[in-house]
Amino acid sequence: MSRIELRVNGRNVEVEADGRTLLTHALRDHLRLTGTHIGCDTSQCGSCTVHVDGKAVKSCTILAVQAAGCDILTIEGLASGRELHPMQAAFNDFHGLQCGFCTPGMIMMAIDIVNRHGRPDEATVRAELEGNLCRCTGYHNIIKAVCAGAERMGEMA
Amino acid sequence: MNETVANGKFGQSVKRVEDARLITGRGRFVDDLVFPGQTYAAFVRSPYAHATIAGIDLASAQDMPGVIRILTGRELADAGLPPLPSGWNLSSIDGTPARVGLHHALAVDAIRFVGEPVALVIAETRDQARDAADTVLVEYQELPTVVDLAAAIADDAPQLHDGIAQNRAFEWEIGSSAAVEAAFAGATRRVTLSLRNNRLIPNAIEPRAINVQWSAFDEAMTIYLTHQNPIGMRGFFAIMLGLPSENNLRVVSPDVGGGFGSKAPAYAEEFAVAFAAKMLDRPVKWTAERSESFLTDAHGRDHLTTAELAMDDNGRFLGLRVHTLANLGAYISTSNALVVSYMYATMLSGQYAIPAIHARVEGVYTNTCPVDAYRGAGRPEAAYLIERLANLAAREIGVDQAEIRRRNFIREFPYQTPLIYCYDSGDYEGCLDAALGLADYAGFEARKAESQARGKLRGIGLSAYVEACGIGPSKLLASLGGGGAMWESCEIRVQPGGSIEVLTGAHNHGQGHQTVYAQIVSERFGVPMDSINVVQGDTDRIQAGTGTYGSRASVGLSAAVHSCDKIVAKGRAIVAHMLEVNLADVVFADGIYSSAASNRTVAFVEMAQAAHGAASFPTDQIEPGLVATSFFDPPNFTYPAGVHVCEVEIDPETGVVEVVAFNAADDFGNVANPLIVEGQVHGGVTQGIAQALWENAIYDPDNAQLMTASYMDYGMPRADSLPEFGLCFWPSPTPVNPLGMKGCGEAGAIGAPPAVINAVCDALGVDHVDMPASPEKIWQLCRAREVS
Ligand code: FES
Ligand code: FES
């Protein structure tokens, strides 16, 4: 068991976990932040995507101990109070989700895409989402939502 | 896209109300739940596809940290867990019932597919359960395996089940072989086709999960289960667990992360976990890892079919003869006997007036994962066959693929096919023209020339599908071998303060029910959507229901309409007393009761208060309170139809097929919410394109190992491999339900595969390419083309 200090959604937290505990399990099981989902065991679905020190990371690909001291942002930390992050609002406006299971990972990835590309075109969004699987939407409206969310994030910046 | 609104009526693109929790991480999925005293389950799974179990050594595993109990199949059977129930009784041509291979929740003596569970470990933590499962020693005696359908019915094939020779579960037929013989005798032209409908793995992104609490004190169980039909599952679990009545069992499905059919069966693992929770008297949770999903979630499709279509010289279809070997996998999964028979072969008439049809389906066991309903469930297999045949017919006659369809379309409704179904309504040619317009069919030759100039091969493919949805008419289904009971219920409770609860046994797993039910009730009552709460997926709240599959939302929504009508009618009686006017003079519109005989009006909410107050009307004539329940059993299926047009570009250097355009005109009848319906089509079309080009579950022919058991090996559709879709609706509202809705959830997965393969064949100028049209296959065909 190790004691791991993290900063999650702006709060300092401590997790007592096995060395082998993945960040995703630390978030879900230890901190009960269950918005971060697990959709695979080969690090390919992207459902578990969070931000670690401002960059999108599949939280099933790193150990919790590797994230020690890092600043972690999960889907639960995006909205301020009742006010949605513009990317969250765009997913609602453009029907970018159906079952909603892939959605937290999609939104965290989408914000990372905008952080890196500004206002990406459709082709860029499609290429950048290659590591996030959605079985429901056919991606069509996710792409629209990400492009619209990028617009709105740009307007707010 | 239509303009979206936050509050709206039937037919408007209302933004989804369920999104709020799902986009903020507040969704509630089964794996998110942890109960006091929680334990965790892990399965020991067979690495072999066919073996007998010679022994199981639990000694070292039992000593592992945190291990509470390890259960084997023998132990569960001895403790009274029966084999899995079957959901459909199918009879063979000779009248004998299907030969059902017994399926134990945990294998007792024999293993029949790779990944079949052998033992169940319960431990204090997930990791401890996993570690101990890895330590269980099972001694297997390997047996020869069979994967291939044709090989499985050979005399010397390895036999999976005692007493089931040549692995044949049933041989079933539909239609008239004599009529078909006569049609062929009178035909001047014919085409024949052999094809494989590739096996698919559903891959809902949320894996299967269950968390079971047993209360020994009152002998009651609560099962949290990610499932498409939680209310219906209660009966299965009660029987399997030997509970004295369904009342001792509560099944709850909270948010469900996609299903596509794979969360409709009654699964082995879930029964084992529930039984273990009762034995242990502690909550037990199991969440499948993705590898387990690949190995054990019921797969889809897997047909080997030969067919012949007889025509006259003008290409008018005269007769159709079909023979299909359907791969059942190692056992008959809950609904699969239905899927491969009545959900498949009944649809073989397609959109065409074919006077004589006969189909024979043989269900065959192999050493593979059991197969069951997957998005479309039988109907995609039928549409793929008939739409491939239509294009072959066009080639044979020498007419355009649109023209051959025009010559054969059904034009008058209702239309009784030779295969039980009676199509209620449609406008097939109108839909075709709409789709061709959307796809700029006329401009194709110019685009083809442009592609050619770049060294690419371009092809265009049509498919004109029809399917049966809105499951279903209970009496008809019971007569075909089911248990009937395919209605849906809806209870509406209007609270004294005017807020409204809508309770229904349908269960959302991505379809936006919370929005659509609220839309309908809000419009009927003239109240805002945010005063309406839609409740699903909890047997303690919902009395009756049969779940969500087979694009059957119209059934539950029709029950909602009837409940609304009952409440509005009761309101009129109450308001007649409040206004002191005759009942016949009370009208209700836009949320307001009024009467020409009075200058007072009563809003819906005031009426609700009065209904509960019970002071303004005689309670010996009108009961207080405001609740209505309706059960809707549709008189017929609905028959959504549409035309999909796919355009592909093939790079002959690499064999890669790119879908460059995909357009669809669909008749879903009236559309409740275009935003949501378009989303359903996007998802369905994507799964259909993926079946045609990438997805394929491959078992090693030598040892029946699943070679496509991860996202590294299985061709999931990704964002970067798809075009933008062009969609339009071409509605012919159905008369079989009060909303005129037909259903839309499976359409894309049905219409797309033949459209894609027809386009690929068009580009290459070949008769047929089996799915998936992988680069290797296409590259070979391009080479052959160059040589010739
Ligand atoms: S769970 Fe992390 S990528 Fe799938
Ligand atoms: S919305 Fe269901 S997996 Fe993406």
Residue A126 in domain? yes
| Distance in angstroms between the alpha carbons of the first and the last residue of chain A | 42
Q: Please check whether residue A58 is in contact with residue A74, taking contact to mean a CB–CB distance below 8 angstroms.
A: no
Nearest CA to B669 out of B630, B629, B634 is that of B634
Cα of B247 from ligand 1 centre, angstroms: 39
Rounded to the nearest angstrom, the minimum Cα separation between A93 and chain B is: 6
The verdict on A8 and A72 lying in the same domain is yes
Which of A50-64, B452-466, B545-559, B667-681 comes out lowest in average pLDDT? B545-559
Rounded to whole angstroms, the Cα distance separating B404 from B263 reads 39
Mutate to test the interface with A, among B13, B15, B17, B19 (most CBs of A within 10 A): B19
* Helices B379-397 + B747-764 axis angle, to 10: 30
> Between β-strands B168-175 and B356-365, what pairing exists: parallel, antiparallel or unpaired?
antiparallel
Rounded to whole angstroms, the Cα distance separating B329 from B363 reads 9
Type of residue found at B415: Y
Q: What is the mean pLDDT of residues B139-151?
A: 97
CB contact under 8 A, B31 and A38: yes
Question: Which atom from ligand 2 is nearest to the alpha carbon of B258?
Answer: 2
CB contact under 8 A, A102 and B205: yes
The verdict on A11 and A64 lying in the same domain is yes
Is pLDDT at B377 greater than 90 in this prediction? Answer: yes
Nearest CA to B269 out of B42, B59, B446 is that of B42
Q: What is the mean pLDDT of residues B461-467?
A: 97
The verdict on A96 and A131 lying in the same domain is yes
Q: What is the mean pLDDT of residues B82-90?
A: 88
Is pLDDT at A133 greater than 50 in this prediction? Answer: yes
Question: Which atom from ligand 2 is nearest to the alpha carbon of A39?
Answer: 3
C-alpha torsion angle, residues B614, B618, B619, B622 (rounded to 10): -100
- Copy the structure tokens of residue B33: 């739940």
> How many beta carbons lie within 10 A of that of residue B680, not counting itself?
27
Q: What is the mean pLDDT of residues B196-218?
A: 96
Rounded to whole angstroms, the Cα distance separating B173 from B732 reads 32
Rounded to whole angstroms, the Cα distance separating B211 from B29 reads 11
Q: With residue B339 as reference, give the H or E element that holds it.
A: helix B336-340
- pLDDT (tens digit, 9 = 90+) per residue, B520-532? 999 999 999 999 9
- Copy the structure tokens of residue B260: 């596509």
The verdict on A72 and A91 lying in the same domain is no
Rounded to whole angstroms, the Cα distance separating B99 from B91 reads 9
- pLDDT (tens digit, 9 = 90+) per residue, B385-417? 999 999 999 999 999 999 999 999 999 999 999
Q: What is the mean pLDDT of residues A2-23?
A: 95
Nearest CA to B296 out of B260, B333, B326 is that of B333
CB contact under 8 A, B29 and A88: no
- Copy the structure tokens of residue B492: 């509406």
Q: Which of A37, A103, A109, A132 to mutate to test the pocket of ligand 2 (most atoms within 8 A of CB)?
A: A103
Nearest to A74 among B19, B25, B678 (CB): B25
Is pLDDT at B98 greater than 80 in this prediction? Answer: yes
- Output b/e per residue, B158-174; b: 16+ Cβ within 10 A: bbbbeebeebbbbbbbb
- What residues contact residue B440 under an 8 Å CB cut-off, 6+ apart? none
Rounded to whole angstroms, the Cα distance separating B668 from B663 reads 16
DSSP-derived 3-state class of residue B547: coil
Relative to the alpha carbon of B206, which ligand is closest?
Answer: 2
Q: Looking at chain A, which residue has its C-alpha nearest residue B287?
A: A38
Nearest to B289 among A41, A92, A107 (CB): A41
CB contact under 8 A, A92 and B23: yes
Which class for B671: exposed (0-12), middle (13-18), buried (19 or more C-beta within 10 A)?
buried
Name all domains of chain B by residue range, CATH numbers in brackets. Answer: 33-143+205-258+263-296 (3.90.1170.50), 377-471+637-787 (3.30.365.10), 488-632 (3.30.365.10)
> Between β-strands A2-8 and B284-287, what pairing exists: parallel, antiparallel or unpaired?
unpaired
Is pLDDT at B9 greater than 90 in this prediction? Answer: no
The verdict on A17 and A41 lying in the same domain is yes
pLDDT band at B1 (very low <50, low <70, confident <90, very high): very low
pLDDT value for B584: 96
Q: How many domains does chain A have?
A: 2
- pLDDT (tens digit, 9 = 90+) per residue, B733-759? 999 999 999 989 899 999 999 999 999
- pLDDT (tens digit, 9 = 90+) per residue, B281-297? 999 999 999 999 999 99
pLDDT band at A142 (very low <50, low <70, confident <90, very high): very high
Q: Which residues of A touch B724 (CB under 8 A)?
A: 122, 140, 143
Rounded to the nearest angstrom, the minimum Cα separation between A69 and chain B is: 23
Type of residue found at B556: G
Looking at A33, A48, A76, which one is the last position of a domain? A76
Q: With residue B632 as reference, give the H or E element that holds it.
A: strand B627-632
Q: How many CA atoms lie within 13 A of B98 on its CB side?
A: 28
Q: Which residues of B touch A88 (CB under 8 A)?
A: 23-24
Residue A81 in domain? no
Rounded to whole angstroms, the Cα distance separating B619 from B399 reads 72
pLDDT value for B482: 74
| Start-end of H helices in chain A | 23-25, 86-93, 103-117, 122-128, 140-156
What percentage of residues in chain B have a pLDDT greater than 70? 99
pLDDT value for B556: 85
The verdict on A65 and A124 lying in the same domain is no
- pLDDT (tens digit, 9 = 90+) per residue, B573-609? 999 999 999 999 999 999 999 999 999 999 999 999 9
pLDDT value for B251: 94
pLDDT value for B555: 84
DSSP-derived 3-state class of residue B786: helix
Which DSSP symbol is given to B54?
A: E
- pLDDT (tens digit, 9 = 90+) per residue, A39-88? 999 999 999 999 999 999 999 999 999 999 999 999 999 999 889 999 99
The verdict on A66 and A101 lying in the same domain is no
Nearest to B679 among A95, A125, A130 (CB): A95
User: Quick check: CB of B205 below 6 Å from ligand 2?
Assistant: yes
Residue A70 in domain? yes
pLDDT value for B2: 53
Residue A136 in domain? yes
pLDDT value for B693: 98
Name which residue leads in pLDDT, B1 or A99.
A99
Q: Please check whether residue A102 is in contact with residue A45, taking contact to mean a CB–CB distance below 8 angstroms.
A: yes
- Nearest CA, atom 3, ligand 1: A43
pLDDT value for A88: 98
- Copy the structure tokens of residue B679: 């989303």
| CATH number of A21's domain | 3.10.20.30
DSSP string of B562-606, one letter each residue? HHHHHHHHHHHHHHHHHHT--GGGEEEETTEEEETT-S--EEHHH
Which of B55-64, B333-342, B506-515, B662-671 comes out lowest in average pLDDT? B506-515
Residue A32 in domain? yes
The verdict on A28 and A92 lying in the same domain is no
Rounded to the nearest angstrom, the minimum Cα separation between A12 and chain B is: 20
User: Quick check: CB of B735 below 6 Å from ligand 2?
Assistant: no
| CATH number of A110's domain | 1.10.150.120
Which of B166-170, B178-182, B505-509, B643-647 comes out lowest in average pLDDT? B505-509
- Copy the structure tokens of residue B788: 């010739």
Nearest CA to B288 out of A34, A24, A39, A18 is that of A39
What percentage of residues in chain A have a pLDDT greater than 70? 99
Q: Which of A60, A63, A129, A130 to mutate to test the pocket of ligand 1 (most atoms within 8 A of CB)?
A: A60
**Residues recorded for chain A:** 157
Instruction: List the domain range (segments joined by +) for residue A116.
Output: 86-156
Q: Please check whether residue B91 is in contact with residue B169, taking contact to mean a CB–CB distance below 8 angstroms.
A: no
Looking at A48, A76, A104, which one is the last position of a domain? A76
- Copy the structure tokens of residue B412: 């008058």
Average pLDDT of chain A is 96
DSSP string of B108-172, one letter each residue? SSEE-STT-EEEEEEESSHHHHHHHHHH-EEEEEE------HHHHTSTTSPP-STT-GGGEEEEE
The verdict on A13 and A72 lying in the same domain is yes
Name which residue leads in pLDDT, B552 or B176.
B176
The verdict on A48 and A96 lying in the same domain is no
Is pLDDT at B480 greater than 90 in this prediction? Answer: no
CB contact under 8 A, A134 and B205: yes
Average pLDDT of chain B is 95
Q: Please check whether residue B255 is in contact with residue A100, taking contact to mean a CB–CB distance below 8 angstroms.
A: yes
- pLDDT (tens digit, 9 = 90+) per residue, B23-57? 999 999 999 999 999 999 999 999 999 999 999 99
Residue A38 in domain? yes
Rounded to whole angstroms, the Cα distance separating B579 from B573 reads 10
Looking at A76, A94, A114, which one is the last position of a domain? A76
The verdict on A43 and A61 lying in the same domain is yes
The model carries a pTM of 0.96
Rounded to whole angstroms, the Cα distance separating A70 from B61 reads 37
**Residues recorded for chain B:** 788
Is pLDDT at B697 greater than 90 in this prediction? Answer: yes
The verdict on A64 and A101 lying in the same domain is no
Q: Please check whether residue B552 is in contact with residue B632, taking contact to mean a CB–CB distance below 8 angstroms.
A: no
Q: Please check whether residue A58 is in contact with residue A48, taking contact to mean a CB–CB distance below 8 angstroms.
A: yes
Q: What is the mean pLDDT of residues B454-483?
A: 90
Its ipTM equals 0.98
Report the sign of the C-alpha dihedral through residues B749, B752, B758, B762, in that order: negative
Cα of A118 from ligand 1 centre, angstroms: 25
CB contact under 8 A, B682 and A127: no
Residue A14 in domain? yes
Q: What is the mean pLDDT of residues B196-206?
A: 98
pLDDT value for B550: 77
